[in-house]
Amino acid sequence: MAYRTSQKIQEMKDAKKQHIEESAAKVFAEKGYYQTKVADILERADISTGSFYFYFNNKEELFESLYDEMIQTYLSVLQDAIDTMKDNADSIAESITKAVSLSLQTFQTKKELARIMLISSVGLSAEFEKKRIADHQKISLVFEEIFRGLLQKEVIRVPDAKVAAVLFAGSIYSVITHWLQENTAIDLVEYSDPLIAYNLQALGIQCNDSDLTAKYIPIEIKNANHFHKESI
């Protein structure tokens, strides 16, 4: 009985904590870290100061945990894509397509994730920058290792796996950032095809349409891209 109760309570606590986190994420994404006052979060989450400090030690920690969670989310998305790559190593293009596609789909559904990871967390302080840099290097490393492997197999042609990884990751960020900054209702995934095309070509991968109409790209935008059709 007591167990049941405390379990329920625990669930409510967890729910409330998550509610605060979600509210905070929205505000951080909208206003940036410093312009987000604790009071703004309280208002958005409709809670009291006391509650806030019951669930979180301070504003900074909350932000960091949100940020960490987002980096983790993205890293695991990437890991998923990679794991699939290893499974069917025959089609590199498809694998890369998947990685990009999944990335965009993730950020599309979690716009706050995108904003906080790519905008709100930038340039906060020398200390936080160290953390952020390390995290982005971690992400970059994921691509770097893949590229290194592909380089050895000579399926991609790039002068430097590391730089390629930086550029590949950067290209994804660019598109997301661009999408975040448009105030149109365009879907992020609509950028999938040109983004993938750009990168595949950049990596020197020969690919045909069948790769690009991969199952990871939502059907309705498949036909948007007729790139390479005229290539011999």
Binding segment toward its own copies, per CB under 8 A, in 2-10, 46-54, 62-70, 136-144: 136-144
Binding segment toward DNA, per CB under 7 A, in 51-59, 88-96, 131-139, 170-178: 51-59
CA distances from 160 to 100, 104, 139, 209, 221 (A): 20, 25, 17, 27, 32
| Window 149 to 188, contacts with its own copies (CB under 8 A) | 157-160, 163-164, 166-167, 169-171, 173-175, 177-178, 181
Asked whether the beta carbons of 63 and 37 are under 8 A apart, the reply is no
Binding segment toward DNA, per CB under 7 A, in 9-17, 64-72, 75-83, 178-186: 9-17
When CB distances are held under 5 to 8 angstroms depending on the partner's kind, the choice from its own copies, DNA, none that residue 202 binds is its own copies
When CB distances are held under 5 to 8 angstroms depending on the partner's kind, the choice from its own copies, DNA, none that residue 86 binds is none
Burial class (CB in 10 A: 0-12, 13-18, 19+), 61: exposed
- Give the whole-angstrom CA distance, residue 49 versus residue 104: 36
Tell me if 131 contacts its own copies by CB under 8 A: no
Asked whether the beta carbons of 175 and 206 are under 8 A apart, the reply is no
Tell me if 224 contacts DNA by CB under 7 A: no
Tell me if 204 contacts its own copies by CB under 8 A: yes
CB of 22 to DNA, least distance (A): 15
CB of 195 to its own copies, least distance (A): 7
Residue 214, both tokens: 């991969």
Binds DNA (CB under 7 A): choice among 1, 4, 50, 185: 50
If phi > 0 it is left, if psi is from -120 to 50 it is alpha, else beta; for residue 49 that is alpha
CB of 50 to its own copies, least distance (A): 13
- Give the whole-angstrom CA distance, residue 113 versus residue 189: 16
Binds DNA (CB under 7 A): choice among 18, 22, 43, 60: 60
Residue with structure tokens 């994921």?
Answer: 142
**Strand segments (E) across 5-97:** none
Asked whether the beta carbons of 193 and 225 are under 8 A apart, the reply is yes
Binds its own copies (CB under 8 A): choice among 197, 213, 221, 222: 197
